[in-house]
Amino acid sequence: MAQITSITSESLQNEIRRLLPSQQGFGEDLQATNVITPIIDLTGAAEGATTGQNLQTALAFASVTAFSAIGGTVTIANSPGFYRVFGAYSSSTNAATVTADINMTDGLSVKTILGFRREAPGGQATQSFDFVVFLRAGDSISAVTSDTVAQIEGCSRQIATVNGTLVNPVGFTPQ
């Protein structure tokens, strides 16, 4: 015999409202049943995310913001949201200890996300990076190099808003 049970979960209710905006005024509790019901997953279509993750995070000319830090500090991103940050660090010298960092700050304190160090004598060094960060309001991420013989160059691209809504590459419209 089929049994129906009410589910009281604010997190599930919020997810239903987020995925199905037309149901925001729906006032009844979610329900579960012990009857096997075939399911068709429309989550991707409901979210507008029918594009695969690797395609959604693709680089596009109008979607990337280039940065280059050589002997100083450069802000990579400072607006709320999720960002893909990628590029490379390089240095070339035998004369000095060289440092280069990618830092995140909330305006009060600084945290090093990625740090590069090369002790003298060290010759040439190169290292690539590709990671995703989340910035809240007031947060920023920057590249800092200690000397003009060290550089961090790359690009950033916002891949989702602060609320997690995916941002497709400029010019791409999923069908």
Domain coordinates in residue numbering, the chain:
4-39, 53-160
Q: Which of 18-32, 55-69, 70-84 has the lowest mean pLDDT?
A: 18-32
| Mean pLDDT score, 124-142 | 93
Which strands, in side-by-side order, build the sheet including 73-77? Answer: 73-77, 140-145, 98-105, 110-118
**Range ranked top by mean pLDDT from 53-62, 83-92, 116-125:** 83-92
Confidence of residue 165 (pLDDT cuts 50, 70, 90): confident
User: Mean pLDDT, the chain, as a whole number?
Assistant: 83
CA 137 – CA 142 distance, rounded (Å): 15
Q: What is the DSSP letter of 166?
A: B
Residue predicted with more confidence, 4 or 69: 69
State which fold the 53-160 domain adopts: Jelly Rolls (2.60.120)
Greater confidence, 93 or 77?
77
